[in-house]
Structure 1
Amino acid sequence: MNVATHGLPMEDASRFGLPRAALLRIADAIAAAEGKTSAEIRVVVTRAPLVQHPFFSILWAALAALVLPWLVLFAEPLPALTLLSLQAALFVVMASVMLLPNIAPRVIPRLALKSAARSTAVEMFLAHGIPQTSGRTGILILAAARERIVEVVADEGVHTPLGHGAWRDICEAVAERARHGDLAEGLVAGVEKAGELLSGPLPHRPGDRDELANHVIVL
């Protein structure tokens, strides 16, 4: 069974609990799950930050510089030029702090991260040909390792009989193990849950072929 990474050496995934042996376990779990269903399962792990631009650091620095100096006016009136100078200085200081590598990821709103995870999952779903499976029965499980977000994208052939609840169950299966620092076992659990759910409406049939590779895609 082939295990591959895309864009980075496989060793880099070990930082998130995904060494080669773990990737092989996940691939084996995918093969076992697909042995129970005619659906197709793909797993993608993103190592890179979902949001990489400094927009939110600059935004929060600008808001702080705009609002905080006005609080000083309640204690002591300031000339307009002094107020503007204070705002400019505060912006420079706040932006410098919030752009630090260990601070910048912490100022990104969770909602923005979830939106970015969803967009990445949909992009990967399309890029790896999942909608091209016969019967439109492919699903993609995406784990954003840094942000600890799980997304599931399902094609219409599986979404119609199962619905949103099934995808929430898969996400929870991954998250339950990943919360304890074991992302690999979380993904194995998520794949096993997917196989269990999919086997009901879409059982494995004689002659079914494996249309998508089982290796884990690591970005």
Structure 2
Amino acid sequence: MPIKRIFQHLLFSDWQVHRAFKRESLDAITKAIHNSEHLHGGEIRLAIEGGLDGIRLLKGQSSRDRAIEVFSQLRVWDTEHNNGVLVYVLLADRAVEIVADRGIHIKAGDECWRSICQTMQDHFSRSEFETGALKGIAAIANVIGLHFSAHEKHENELPDAPVMLNFKN
């Protein structure tokens, strides 16, 4: 485990998370997720984490492994048509991971998700966090919409608001 990564994560503060994703940005993201879910039959969740805790760092947990863990914890897999999509942001690594449930993943494939992650990471590298998140949500909504059209009566199966992980304030 590189010592630089350990310090990067342990020193990443809630203030830095709040600076990247201000309340107004979180509100805009919530609205974008909510509105997008009227255009398709899937569910989108966004989880934001500043840095990993000491145990996860010592075990060498990757951002991908953490995203899969969060996917399970937030029960994104628990949608009627297995078409939930988690966007996991690990700010200390400037990493974006997308974990899609089997119903949508089998139709979209790895390359689709990698491309969306790369677009988001490009914006994040320029500190354009809200723009990157909104572009990612729009792209995911388009992918889901290609394979799962909106139902007349769409039941919101997962919360639309981003979840802040290990956030103390």
TM-score interval w.r.t. the shorter chain?
0.7 to 0.9
Confirm or deny: 8 A CA contact 2:38 2:154 kept in the other structure: no
Task: Please name the residue that 2:8 is paired with.
Answer: none
Task: Please name the residue that 1:143 is paired with.
Answer: 89
CA RMSD of aligned residues (A): 2.0
Aligned counterpart in structure 2 of residue 39 of structure 1, from 38, 42, 51: 42
Alpha-carbon shift at residue 50 of structure 1 (Å) = 2.6
Tell me, what secondary structure is at the counterpart of 2:161?
coil
The share of aligned pairs that are identical, in percent, is 24
**Is the counterpart of residue 50 in structure 1 residue 60 in structure 2?**
no
**Is the counterpart of residue 130 in structure 1 residue 132 in structure 2?**
no
CA–CA separation in structure 2 for the residues paired with 1:123 and 1:18: 22
Instruction: Report the structure, 1 or 2, having the larger helix content.
Output: 1
Tell me, what secondary structure is at the counterpart of 1:43?
strand
Task: Please name the residue that 2:98 is paired with.
Answer: 152
Give a deviation string over 1:167-196, Cα, whole Å, max 9, x none. Answer: 112202211211211112211111111001
Tell me, what secondary structure is at the counterpart of 1:32?
helix
CA–CA separation in structure 2 for the residues paired with 1:55 and 1:141: 24
Confirm or deny: 8 A CA contact 2:17 2:91 kept in the other structure: no
CA–CA separation in structure 1 for the residues paired with 2:52 and 2:63: 7
**Is the counterpart of residue 24 in structure 1 residue 44 in structure 2?**
no
In structure 2, list runs of 5 or more residues that go unmatched.
Answer: 1-13
CA–CA separation in structure 2 for the residues paired with 1:34 and 1:207: 11
Tell me how many residue pairs correspond in the alignment: 151
**Is the counterpart of residue 118 in structure 1 residue 64 in structure 2?**
yes
**Is the counterpart of residue 206 in structure 1 residue 141 in structure 2?**
no
Q: Which has the higher contact order (CA 8 A, sep 6+)?
A: 1
**Is the counterpart of residue 13 in structure 1 residue 17 in structure 2?**
yes
How high is the TM-score relative to the length of structure 2?
0.82
CA–CA separation in structure 1 for the residues paired with 2:28 and 2:119: 16
The 3 A distance-change label for structure 1 pair 41 and 55 is closer
Equivalent residue letter for 1:199: G
CA–CA separation in structure 2 for the residues paired with 1:193 and 1:152: 12
Task: Please name the residue that 2:6 is paired with.
Answer: none
Tell me, what secondary structure is at the counterpart of 1:134?
coil
CA–CA separation in structure 2 for the residues paired with 1:35 and 1:169: 24
The 3 A distance-change label for structure 1 pair 147 and 202 is same
Bigger Rg, which one: 1
